Amino acid sequence: MDGKHGGRIAPRLKSALEAAESSARLQAALAAGMRPAPEYVGVLVERCGTEPDFYVRDMLTWALTQHDAEAAVGLLLPELESENPQARSQALHTLSKIGDRRVWPAITADLLRDEDDEVARAAWRTAAGLVPEGFEADLAETLSTQFGRGGREVRLSLSRAFVALGPAAAPAVERARADPDEGVRTHAVATERLMLDPEEGFDAAIAEAERIVTLLGAPLTGE
């Protein structure tokens, strides 16, 4: 592709991704993935941080996975330090889909504890998927600081990360079962149940965990 033509296609994609209709933006992202061009990568990454529609964002991620992985990763990594939470979360999501384990060092403890729930959830999923062999227990220790955080979807995401980590995460979960905070204990017990039986529903695991924590926390009575 000559430079003159390459200089035209990126602005055209940028304009298409700014269309008022989400269906038009979705088609533009789809086309960018079906006909990859090096000039598209920066435009797609930039749009990830501002696109309001979930389905379009997911298509942007798919489009990026169709491009040269090294080029995409090179532009996604700086997004992890963006002040824009959506840019951070979508970059993490896209990196998880690309699956390049060399990005592991960029998934910092700060991201795993990010104050924005969507960023943290994306960081947990990505870290659990890319963690190098032998680092699972260390990751579990960091993740265990997040037990009891947020609502149902946030807690489910964290539990799924522990399930993905497997047996190496068990000691961190066991320690969290003894946490002074009842919410932390309940989440840890539910997570432990899911690690033993991933087919058990999360809501059922939480309900049983609440029962267990209540029983264990009840005062002993005399005869």
Q: Which CATH architecture has domain 1-130?
A: Alpha Horseshoe (1.25)
Does the structure show a pLDDT above 60 at 37? yes
> How far is residue 121's CA from residue 11's CA, in Å, rounded to a whole number?
33
Positive or negative, the CA dihedral 186, 115, 41, 61 is: positive
List alpha helices for 17-135, DSSP H.
22-34, 40-48, 54-65, 69-76, 85-98, 109-112, 117-130
Closest among 161, 153, 77 to 117, alpha carbons compared: 153
Rg value, the chain, Cα: 21
CA within 13 Å, CB half, 171: 7
* 90: confidence class by pLDDT, cuts 50, 70, 90: very high
Q: Is the pTM of this model over 0.85?
A: yes
Domain boundaries, the chain: 1-130, 135-216
Question: What average pLDDT does the segment 155-162 reach?
Answer: 96
Please report which helix (H) or strand (E) contains residue 138, including its range: helix 136-143
Q: 7 falls in which pLDDT band (50, 70, 90)?
A: low
- Arithmetic mean of pLDDT, 65-72: 97
Look up residue 64 and give its two tokens: 């990026």
